[in-house]
């Protein structure tokens, strides 16, 4: 019996990972696609007049098996991939895109959906109908003839290219390894040395080694006084996806940009950004650029001032050269030590991974009444762990945490789900997963995080809460199924509680002694919270502007020349690079998710800075009334209403960029 197609008699119907094999996926997808096609064909051919129940609700049920199989497969493909899964993903991507186009361009189905009106529907049903009709139109349902066929072909090709982009990036990250010996360890903190030893052992190597995991590469760039090694590591980091050969992403990205532009114009839009932003909070590329440029000037001014100081430090070390990108993090760390008497080696022992997981759980408990109980169930990897989430006696969902870097996992951090929340025919609670890439300590040693790592953990857990707390009827609008420039609000807002002094006092405890963080260190940590914000903001905005330029102007002929032109027009500081160079910009090229939408982190940050201010105004970070309103209007509401309506219901007003500038210390 194929485990993916059988009943899951497991706690909370968690996927039976101990019974699922790689060989199950291909036949499971075949069966699930047939079932979905049969179901949708029956809806389109239904002789009864179209109604919300026999059309929209029927479509909500139609892909149940496909959603179940896809949920398992694509989570494994990102978090614990194998050559067999990668090969299947390459085959499946165009097949699934073809299926989606087939459904969206089914004339009979579209006629039924288009015929429906909101008359007599509940508010939530009317919202679902509105979004369904928009989805069909944006997927080419109104196209005819050659345009319809061309649109479907474009979508299949884009799916193939996006998968290739992701797998090429994983290839470059997985295969690069820099062996080091005792002479290369000067200045490195003990926990980084241990992690580098573990990285070498994992590859069957003696001594120490660096991979292109962010949790190893970035700490090395901060701590190593060896400028020659920093240059090697930084250039390898920047070269991901642009190393020539079969894994080079530059031609893939160019083809994707051309196809997206053609896709948008088939639908009547001027460019892909105009298409993508239609329906987002920002609405237009002009509004996005206005926000980004409001923040760019003060951020660049701060970065330029910092660059002057860092250059003086470089020259003070006898290196009479220009400050380079592989110098910035090293001298910024030294400057932070000088200004705030703070370094990572002193801070990290107070940020044990388990303590920070407990801190996130505790905040969720105090704000929303949630509790987390460990589950002893088979999962897809030994590093993953699971908890049952409850609110009082009510089962809320299952949360899975998968925190450590490994070669089978793509880089970055993200939140996903094996099952979405819904309540149409029965109550279905979500199974949500956070995936991170923290450095794993050798056996017997505690796993330590940087303060930025801890912030990442809180960020992704904010997404998880958005998914877990969802309380709507239809899976189509549950959890994080919201506008792209609204989806980051719950995650970025939750980050604020990491910096609350009472949270740090309770949970930032030394991993060996259990002692609370000394008050003097806590004060220094808080004082340094906005340190180097010029750098961080410049590397983000430059990426967002390049993304916007790619999707608004003429399709570039050379990817890197177009990137360079955008950065030159911005006046990009020479010692800072984009957070994501184009050949590794998975946000915008692994799929359409953040394409012409990378700005959304900053758009949401305008709101999250203002939203946290609501707690301050109410008297404290755990004010019960404000938390209850936040839960009702943001975390449980999914996409049941327009994002602006939800935010206004919580806050009573819309913020402006001053809240963001103040939060980043750039006002």
Q: Which residues contact 550 (CB under 8 A, 6 or more apart)?
A: 257, 556, 562, 582, 588, 596
Name the DSSP class of 424.
S
User: Which of the residues are catalytic?
Assistant: 460
Give the 3-state DSSP-derived string for 359-382, with helices as H, strands as E and coil as C: HHHHHHHHHHCEEEEEECCCCCCC
Angle at 437 between CA 583 and CA 464, to 5 degrees: 100
How far apart are alpha carbons 517 and 635 in whole angstroms?
A: 31
Q: How many residues does the chain have?
A: 667
How far apart are alpha carbons 104 and 77 in whole angstroms?
A: 26
CB atoms within 10 A of CB 252: 20
Angle at 471 between CA 468 and CA 472, to 5 degrees: 130
Burial code (b: 16+ CB inside 10 Å, e: under 16) for 583-617 equals: bbbbbbbbbbebbbbbbbbbbbbbbbbbbbbbbee
How far apart are alpha carbons 314 and 333 in whole angstroms?
A: 12
How far apart are alpha carbons 16 and 32 in whole angstroms?
A: 18
Name the DSSP class of 413.
-
How far apart are alpha carbons 240 and 327 in whole angstroms?
A: 19
Q: Output the CA–CA distances (angstroms, integers) from residue 320 to 311, 312, 574, in the order listed.
A: 9, 9, 16
For residues 212 and 237, the answer to whether their CB atoms sit within 8 Å is yes
How far apart are alpha carbons 57 and 107 in whole angstroms?
A: 18
Nearest to 630 by CA among 373, 424, 369, 408: 369
Q: Output the CA–CA distances (angstroms, integers) from residue 421 to 63, 425, 473, 494, in the order listed.
A: 15, 12, 8, 21
Exposed, middle or buried, 41 (CB in 10 Å: 0-12/13-18/19+)? middle
How far apart are alpha carbons 438 and 403 in whole angstroms?
A: 6
Q: Output the CA–CA distances (angstroms, integers) from residue 19 to 2, 409, 648, in the order listed.
A: 9, 21, 47
Name the DSSP class of 476.
G
User: What distance, in Å, lies between the first and last C-alpha atoms of the chain?
Assistant: 62
For residues 386 and 379, the answer to whether their CB atoms sit within 8 Å is yes
How far apart are alpha carbons 259 and 482 in whole angstroms?
A: 25
Q: Output the CA–CA distances (angstroms, integers) from residue 507 to 501, 512, 515, in the order listed.
A: 10, 13, 10
- 210: enclosing H helix or E strand: strand 208-210
For residues 305 and 534, the answer to whether their CB atoms sit within 8 Å is yes
Burial code (b: 16+ CB inside 10 Å, e: under 16) for 520-535 equals: ebbebbeebeebbbbb
How far apart are alpha carbons 203 and 176 in whole angstroms?
A: 11
């Amino acid at each position: 019996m194929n485990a993916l197609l059988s009943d899951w008699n497991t706690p909370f119907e968690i996927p039976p990972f101990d019974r699922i094999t790689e060989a199950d996926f291909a036949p499971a997808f075949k069966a699930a696609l047939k079932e979905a096609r049969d179901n949708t064909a029956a809806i389109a051919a239904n002789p009864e007049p179209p109604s919300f129940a026999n059309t929209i609700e029927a479509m909500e049920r139609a892909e149940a098996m496909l959603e179940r199989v896809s949920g398992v497969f694509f989570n494994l493909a990102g978090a614990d991939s194998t050559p067999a899964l990668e090969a299947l993903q390459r085959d499946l991507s165009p097949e699934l895109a073809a299926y989606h186009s087939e459904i969206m361009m089914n004339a009979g189905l579209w006629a039924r959906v288009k015929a429906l009106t909101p008359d007599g529907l509940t508010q939530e049903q009317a919202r679902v109908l509105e979004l369904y009709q928009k989805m069909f139109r944006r997927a080419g349902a109104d196209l005819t003839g050659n345009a319809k066929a061309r649109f479907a072909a474009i979508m299949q090709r884009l799916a193939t290219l996006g998968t290739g982009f992701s797998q090429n990036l994983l290839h470059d990250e997985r295969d690069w390894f820099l062996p080091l010996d005792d002479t290369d360890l000067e200045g490195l903190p003990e926990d980084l040395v241990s992690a580098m030893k573990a990285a070498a052992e994992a590859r069957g190597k003696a001594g120490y080694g660096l991979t292109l995991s962010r949790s190893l590469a970035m700490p090395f760039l901060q701590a190593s006084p060896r400028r020659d090694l920093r240059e090697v590591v930084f250039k390898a980091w920047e070269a991901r996806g642009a190393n020539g050969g079969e894994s080079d992403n530059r031609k893939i990205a160019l083809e994707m940009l051309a196809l997206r532009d053609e896709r948008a114009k088939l639908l009547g839009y001027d460019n892909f950004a105009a298409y993508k932003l239609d329906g987002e909070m920002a609405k237009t590329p002009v509004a996005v650029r206005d926000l980004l440029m409001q923040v760019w000037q003060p951020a660049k001014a701060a970065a330029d001032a910092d660059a002057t100081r860092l250059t003086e430090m470089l020259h003070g070390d006898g290196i009479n050269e220009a400050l380079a990108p592989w110098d910035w993090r090293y001298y910024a760390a030294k400057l932070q030590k000088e200004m705030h008497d703070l370094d990572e080696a002193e801070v990290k022992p107070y940020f044990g991974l388990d303590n920070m997981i407990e801190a996130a759980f505790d905040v969720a408990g105090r704000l929303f009444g949630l509790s987390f109980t460990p589950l002893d169930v088979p999962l897809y990897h030994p590093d993953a762990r699971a908890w049952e989430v409850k609110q009082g006696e009510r089962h809320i969902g299952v949360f899975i945490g998968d925190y450590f870097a490994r070669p089978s996992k793509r880089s970055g951090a993200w939140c996903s789900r094996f099952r979405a929340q819904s309540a149409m025919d029965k109550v279905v609670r979500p199974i949500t997963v956070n995936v991170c890439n923290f450095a794993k300590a050798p056996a017997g040693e505690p796993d330590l995080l940087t303060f930025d790592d801890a912030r990442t953990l809180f960020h992704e857990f904010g997404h998880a809460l958005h998914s877990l707390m969802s309380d709507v009827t239809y899976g189509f609008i549950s959890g994080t199924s919201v506008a792209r420039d609204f989806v980051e609000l719950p995650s970025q807002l939750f980050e604020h509680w990491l910096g609350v002094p009472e949270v740090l006092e309770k949970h930032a405890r030394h991993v060996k002694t259990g002692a609370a963080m000394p008050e003097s260190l806590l004060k220094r940590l808080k004082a340094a919270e906005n340190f180097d914000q010029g750098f961080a903001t410049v590397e983000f905005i430059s990426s967002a502007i390049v993304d916007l330029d790619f999707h608004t102007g003429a399709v570039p002929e050379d990817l890197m020349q177009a990137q360079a032109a955008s950065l030159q027009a911005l006046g990009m500081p020479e010692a800072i690079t984009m957070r994501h160079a184009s050949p590794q910009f998975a946000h915008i090229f692994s799929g359409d998710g953040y394409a012409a939408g990378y700005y959304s982190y900053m758009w949401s940050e305008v709101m999250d800075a203002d939203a946290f201010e609501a707690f301050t105004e109410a008297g404290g970070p755990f004010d019960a009334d404000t938390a209850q309103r936040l839960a009702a209007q943001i975390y449980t509401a999914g996409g049941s209403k327009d994002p602006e309506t939800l935010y206004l219901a919580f806050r009573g007003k819309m913020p402006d960029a001053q809240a963001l500038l103040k939060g980043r210390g750039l006002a």
